[in-house]
Amino acid sequence: MSVAPEAVQAFEEQRPRLFAIAYRLLGSASEAEDAVQDTFLRWHTADPHAVRSPAGWLAKVLTNLCLTRLTSAQARRETYPGPWLPEPVLTAQSALGPLERAEQRELVSLAFLLLLERLTPPQRAVFVLREAFDYSYREIAAMLDLTEVNCQQLYRRARLQLAEGRARFPQRSRANQEQGHRIAEEFLAAARTGDLAELESLLTADVVAWADGGGKTVAARRPVHGAPRVARYLASWMSRDMPGLRVVVTELNGQPGIVGILGGQLLVAVLLSLAGSRITTVHTVVNPDKLTFLAGQLL
């Protein structure tokens, strides 16, 4: 049974929004793509006469597929080798939807996606749908087969769970973005030349560096704390001479990012979280499985 052209068009119109929702719910671009594809398969077998609102129907199916995936994913992450980090995404191409407002950029940063891991799957779904996509409680209740009151309670609990961590997120204006790009370039230059004094001057005293190798690539299994240790740690591998390595400063997840490409292969993605003109957190992703989506955007 083939899908009618108008049904395919209706789905494709919603695909970017579906991916944006799935990524925020799962923290994984590859799993988000799979969830979107599974949604299409269900759309393929749906009775078009029984669907009053394609956008609403698709969002509901996708969200519930993501809830199922998220429940199993949280169990897998408990046994993940070393720190688990979300998959980085190039945001200059609007893969995650509009990011004009500081609040929109905050919600896709790696640090905030990690903060969302504190929530139960239902809390995360309600929070993301409400906070990032402005769905009403009535719409969310219909998607999750819950009452509006229950959704309001889940949202309040999610806000309380996230409040302490969220207070540390600075608001990022367009000027902040330009400053962030400049700081990333200075950071890169200092790290690649092994200039520890300059590198340390760009870090806050309590900076933390995290690395995700997924057990497939050499990476620190524990976070590195403090400006002196983080500076030495970063310079130890970023200053290595690798002929042919191309390093580019870009924007990943709405924040300053750096990617390293060698022989047409994406090797590493580094994301910087800032407070003013200093770097508070460095997230490094070298797990090749988590660089596949980003490589497709870049290469």
Q: Which CATH architecture has domain 5-166?
A: Up-down Bundle (1.20)
Q: How far apart are CA 134 and CA 129, in angstroms?
A: 6
* Whether the domain at 5-166 and the domain at 174-298 fall into the same CATH topology: no
> Each residue of 100-156: pLDDT tens digit?
677 778 889 999 999 999 999 999 999 999 999 999 999 999 999 999 999 999 999
DSSP 254: T
Domain residue spans of the chain: 5-166, 174-298
Centre a 10 Å sphere on the Cβ of residue 185 and count the other Cβ atoms it contains: 13
Classified as helix, coil or strand, 249 is strand
Predicted structure pTM score: 0.91
Q: Please give the distance of CA 53 from its chain centroid, rounded to a whole number.
A: 29
Per-residue pLDDT tens digits for 181-237: 999 999 999 999 999 999 999 999 999 999 999 989 888 899 999 999 999 999 999
Output phi, psi for 275, to 5 deg.
Answer: -130, 105
For the domain made up of 174-298, the CATH class stated in words is: alpha beta
Measured distance between the N- and C-terminal CA atoms of the chain, rounded to whole angstroms: 35
Beta bridge partners of 283: 210, 271
d(CA 272, CA 251): 10
85-112 as b/e, with b when 16 or more CB fall inside 10 Å? bbbbbbbeeebbbebeebebbbbbbbbb
